[in-house]
Amino acid sequence: MTASASFLAIDLGASSGRLMDCRWDGRRFEIEELHRFPNGGVRSSTGLYWDVASIWNEIRTGLRKFTAQGREAPAAIGIDAWGVDYCLLDGADRLLGNPYHYRDARTNGLPEAMSAVVTGRELFNATGVQTMAINTSFQLASMVRSGDAQLEAARTLLMIPDYFQFLLSGEKRAEYTEATTSQLYDLRARAWSAETLRKLRIPAHIFPQVIQPGTRLGPLRAAVQAECGFSGALPCVAVASHDTASAVAAIPGLDETSVLLSSGTWSLMGVTADEPNLSDEFFGGGFTNEGSATGGVLLLKNRPGLWILQECVRVWEAAGRCIAWAELEEAAKQAAPFRSFIDPAAPELQAPADMCVAVQRFCAESGQPVPETPGEIARCVFESLSFSYRAVVESLARITRRELRTVRVVGGGCLNHFLCQMTADACGREVVAGPVEAAALGSGLLQAVATGHLRNLAEARAALAESVACDVYQPQSGAAWAEAYARYRAVAARG
């Protein structure tokens, strides 16, 4: 281990972005938020998009805040973001329009419409990724089907974090963990899937070289250095640029007996492995394979998460009723338990105009009491999420033949103590929650390794374990939980 240093972590989420200073003092890590900004889709008459110019402006604002404080020059900078979305560049490296948001309606029904061309099982065999309409594969297929001029003019495709890395360093590369979210990358061959690209008629020449997490790129562009006030060259590092992989990199104590849970807008739950699992049982269970920060694989189940309640809060705020998350959690505690459940992955809950109405309608149509108050709706969602986690843990234990004793939660969901305890009770397993800013810390760890401040990721994780305090929740479930879980399974099975 070597001397102290700062590592700048740009962590872009689907609802907010932040720039964090991950400081290493030779023994421990500390993290400080420098800049946070809201993020989200921008709707126009032609669709739902990401405003990448605004995001880039916020990134530069965060960098200027760092230098304005007169801090010692950072040792490196890295960026992570959500998966599946991408930018298209022309031959002069100019952006061909704002990139689409994964929730844009242009891919609705496309997997079913294209099943005669390529089935979900064929895509899974080729890439290890489950079919979802939001995947990069179907976003690009929709452009092929419509004869989109932007795709015809494109010379380079860069996934969202890779695009901002290009703006930082000038290098056009595809980072491994982000590439694996696309449903266009062959995890066994470790290359873009030529078979999938051919079947979907997606031009192969637009896909750049894939590099591994921890790869050192060129220095921060001179123009960005000058604008943001850096006095010297700042190394750019391709960290685990998919935010889930970055968050998993920062889970202390992650081992063969652990289930990881990245809890935020989405809930991603799974285990680590060296190779993808392409079995019928894994495919039939709705699991997927994505790249890990070590160059291995995360065996995951991707489920809707706190986005359901985020949408409810948005509806209440639009109606003039502002409810803080702490207030909503307390209201949920006071609501009667086990009255009604939803299937978080039900199609009717994925993009409704009014999420509160959608939750109520789901309960009514499944013959359950309808939650009316914010507390009742929140309780319904929290219990349903926790039971969905139990279903995933049970499936993972059966498929991997592992004794899974601990659920390790990272991300914003760590802050919801009620949901964490409920997860322990529902799963019948110890829950260890923390760190909250895991994606940014994971970025910092990989930068520390890439710059030689730490020897490897295992050493970095051990140092992190000494640096962060995690909350531990012991299961307190009983017969009522078992009976409620049986009712949840019956409700979830109706779809």
Q: Which residues are catalytic?
A: 243
Check: CB of residue 407 under 8 Å from CB of residue 429.
Answer: yes
Q: Which residues lie closer than 8 Å to 50 by C-beta, 6 or more apart?
A: 41, 42, 85, 98, 99, 100, 101, 160
Q: Which residues pair with 76 in a beta bridge?
A: 7
Cα–Cα dist 118/124, whole Å: 10
Query: CA-CA distance, 263 to 242, in Å (whole number)?
Result: 15
Residue 97, token pair as written in the block: 């329009």
With beta carbons less than 8 A apart as the criterion, state whether 386 and 419 touch. yes
Give the torsion sign (CA, 422, 427, 428, 430): negative
